[in-house]
Copies of this chain bind each other. A is one copy, B any other.
């Protein structure tokens, strides 16, 4: 590619096209196909898609009807049918590989999924005003993953056009919002020879021009869905014939929040979406809890999870009900390696448009990039989670979220610069 790479006009067109087509976890058919289309025009060495990049075990995959609906929607929106066919079963996502000689292998992880949030529609919301508001009503890129994917393409362009020596792999990961995509991608094989891994997030309350070189403070997290089942009965006539799934659910909720605090650090538990029963006068046969447990470390998360599992089972048993608990997503804790973050920091300091560089900052939330980071770190590699600030009008996960598109350029410059220097310096 020529010296004028990357082409930002093309990149911003891509970002807005992805923004118009937000797709939730394991349903990123249009997104994956659009990225394949784009990347096939690049001088890449390898491009792996769907089942080629994911381990077989995946959590939280929707049922076939749901997958069919989104497959259909993607094709109607113009996705290439041959690519979509390769994503059968919701095996979305891709990995692009650029091989430039004998140097180290550097990975970049970007995520690509959207959220079940209805996008704002007012004149002050730029996507609405400028015609790239979500066309999938009820869904939205409200966390900047459209920009992440775009930066991933831009970095490939920039590195390809540079004197980089080594291998670059860009991981376009699905299903981050449900913390379900990280684990199968970490175990998909393509990470096993990665020496250095960078992961990207934009915003996080940092303004345009600020960069955090190595984000820390990830809470390990596990999402679960518990389904209680008992037996219904006429609540007036024969209450004794019921096995009350709502009573089981309520006992579980009360006791989940009461799991003991832990000396070793912060823990969290939440029963975030619950429901049960059918009508006032029927003893409820079914109920469910969608919840999560978190911990400052993976061990602390597992401590809460052990208690939570026992609480759910005992609450069911107490009311003579059954309970089925499914994990829907999970991510370990994690930390950025200082040695790698230092390189990012040094490059950011020299990057046009960057006026503030923080060595580290606490996320205070969860992210399944930690699975990929952990995979690399366990094998002796280094990893850093980089935040590229962006002025965002609304908060993350709100209807008025948007990114300052200048961030795409800064992100490409910082990350491609860091990748080149990492290959050169091997920190």
Question: Which residues of A are in contact with B by a Cβ distance under 8 Å?
Answer: 219, 221, 223-224, 234-242, 244, 246-247, 249-251, 253-255, 257-258, 260-264, 266-268, 270-284, 287, 290-292, 294, 303, 307, 310-311, 313-315, 317-320, 328, 364-366
Q: A273-B279, A280-B292, A281-B292 are in contact. Are A244 and B268 (CB under 8 A)?
A: no
Q: Is the CB of A257 within 8 A of B247?
A: yes
Write out the residue numbers on chain B whose beta carbons fall within 8 Å of the beta carbon of A241. Answer: 263
Write out the residue numbers on chain B whose beta carbons fall within 8 Å of the beta carbon of A244. Answer: 257, 260
Smallest CB gap from A221: residue in B: B236
Q: Is the CB of A255 within 8 A of B318?
A: yes
Docked Cα-Cα span, A218 to B35, in Å, equals 55
Q: Is the CB of B242 within 8 A of A260?
A: yes
Docked Cα-Cα span, A123 to B112, in Å, equals 49
Which of B261, B290, B307, B365 is close to A234, meaning CB atoms less than 8 Å apart? B365
Q: A219-B236, A280-B270, A291-B280 are in contact. Are A317 and B320 (CB under 8 A)?
A: no
Q: A247-B257, A250-B250, A292-B280 are in contact. Are A268 and B236 (CB under 8 A)?
A: yes
Write out the residue numbers on chain B whose beta carbons fall within 8 Å of the beta carbon of A292. Answer: 235-236, 280-281
Q: Is the CB of A290 within 8 A of B294?
A: no
Shortest CB distance A298–B (Å): 14
Q: Is the CB of A240 within 8 A of B261?
A: yes
Write out the residue numbers on chain B whose beta carbons fall within 8 Å of the beta carbon of A315. Answer: 314, 318
Docked Cα-Cα span, A242 to B262, in Å, equals 10
Which of B221, B271, B317 is close to A317, meaning CB atoms less than 8 Å apart? B317
Given contact pairs A239-B270, A270-B283, A275-B276, enumerate 12 new A-B contacts (beta carbons under 8 Å): A221-B281, A238-B263, A239-B263, A239-B268, A244-B260, A246-B253, A247-B257, A247-B258, A250-B253, A274-B276, A280-B290, A315-B318
Which of B276, B291, B320, B328 is close to A310, meaning CB atoms less than 8 Å apart? B320
Docked Cα-Cα span, A253 to B315, in Å, equals 14
Smallest CB gap from A263: residue in B: B238
Docked Cα-Cα span, A285 to B87, in Å, equals 37
